[in-house]
Amino acid sequence: MKHVNNDKKNKEDNKKDNLKKEISEQKPNDNDGKKLDKKDNLINKFLNKKTDFKVYELILFAVLIMMVSVFLTVVVMNDIVSKNNTNSYSPSKMDSELAEFEEVYDLINDSYYKDVNKKTLIEGAINGMLDSLDDPHTSYFNKAETENFNELMNGSYEGIGAEISLDQDGNVIVFSVFKNSPAAEAGLKFNDKILVVNGTSTNGMNTTEVVSLIKDEDRDTADIKIERDGQTLDVEVEKRIVEIESVESKIYEVDGKKIGYVLINTFANNTYEQFRENIENLEKQNIYGLVIDVRGNSGGYLHSVTSMLDMFLPKGAISYQIADKKTTYKYTSTTSESRNYPVAVLVNKSSASASEILAIALKESYGADVVGTFTYGKGTVQTTKNLTTSGGMIKYTIQKWLSPKGNWINDVGVEPTVIQEQSESYEMNPTEENDAQLQKALEVVSNK
């Protein structure tokens, strides 16, 4: 079970643009000390020996002393270098820089006229520090937000397979139900009002508290009382590993041609595998061309979109470029696999990050059309760092990405080859027939 808080929707949407980076730390070798002890014992044996030394023994002893001396020098120097690398700042300097923060923190805790939550103060301070960077893609996640983020980006989690939200009256409702999930099998539907979970009323609770009730680790099922159309129903929902389906596909017939259609909701860890499976199923049905829909897709993992591009671009073709403070790196397709049928990528102003990488890479290196409106315009790359103390996480910008031709779309967006606004009728009552952007993309591909 996941939750959606409409009051924080914009902030949470930004937090979906996440890319991960593994960090490994090498531990010092504990055997160094043991080796030193053995050499010290050997020296002591020489010094405590009562017999007279022979000439060759004195020479051997002198050589040994020199070796030990060199060894000790190396050990001490390595220790100094290690300490210097570990502590790149002066503790006294850091203490002075944090003194004012500590002073304010103590003042609020001791003298503010109402009780305050220390954890809330710390989270507020972290958010304030990151906000000062004026980067909408650098943000702090508390523990609950981190868990939700990881569930979304991992593509699977243990639960019932539904999202919950608060309606305008503060009631907890079912926001969406995943396909082939326990929630779907139990019959939960959009807008069902959740009244009771495992015997506990949800009245006055927020979505995080309700999710905790549903995820109770001591239970294999969740007993949920819902209200639907004025009737009260009791539903028992099994809890199991739920795979989030981020890719859907179908075939449209246009002028006697089969046009494949693939919708990508996010770029999670398992999205590439789902994408490949859907593409191969479409190709078995002899499609003439393909429409890839990333409208409303705010991005995800870079490795996921990279693998998708490898399926289409010829080996050696540039997929994208990554630039840090010093260097720009070009990333190219690494497989001998490629495709040559017509492709159009459907985009809108909510297509961001990895969606934009996919669109402009296929546009510049494959010759695909981009249909819709200008995209969001997010040309930066983020990484994440887990905060072990609180269980939270920060996501922060480390690089910017460029198109295969070196274009930076930040704050500009990807320019469509075919600009198509959405129809007013679709906004009021969305259907495939009045989806002007989809119909235009199908037309573009079929005419290639």
Known catalytic residues are: 353, 378, 382
* Cα–Cα distance, 306 to 272 (Å, whole number): 9
Q: How far is 426 from 437, CA to CA, in rounded Å? A: 10
- Burial of residue 99 (CB within 10 Å: 0-12, 13-18, 19+) is exposed
Please provide the DSSP assignment of 154-217 as one string: HSEEEE-SEEEEE-TTS-EEEEEE-TTSHHHHHT--TT-EEEEETTEE-TT--HHHHHHHHT-T
Q: Is 429 helix (H, G, I), strand (E, B) or coil?
A: coil
37, 71 in Cβ contact below 8 A? no
| Distance in angstroms between the alpha carbons of the first and the last residue of the chain | 44
Q: Are 370 and 406 in contact (CB under 8 A)?
A: no
User: Would you give the distance in Å from CA 424 to the centre of its chain?
Assistant: 34
Amino acid letter for position 189: K
Query: CB–CB of 127/140 below 8 Å?
Result: yes
Rounded-to-integer distance, Cα 295 and Cα 412, Å:
17
Structural Rg of the chain based on CA atoms: 30
Separation of alpha carbons 252 and 258, rounded Å: 6
CA distance 306 to 321: 11
Nearest to 171 by CA among 214, 222, 205: 205
Least Cα distance to 262 among 368, 402, 421, 148 occurs for 368
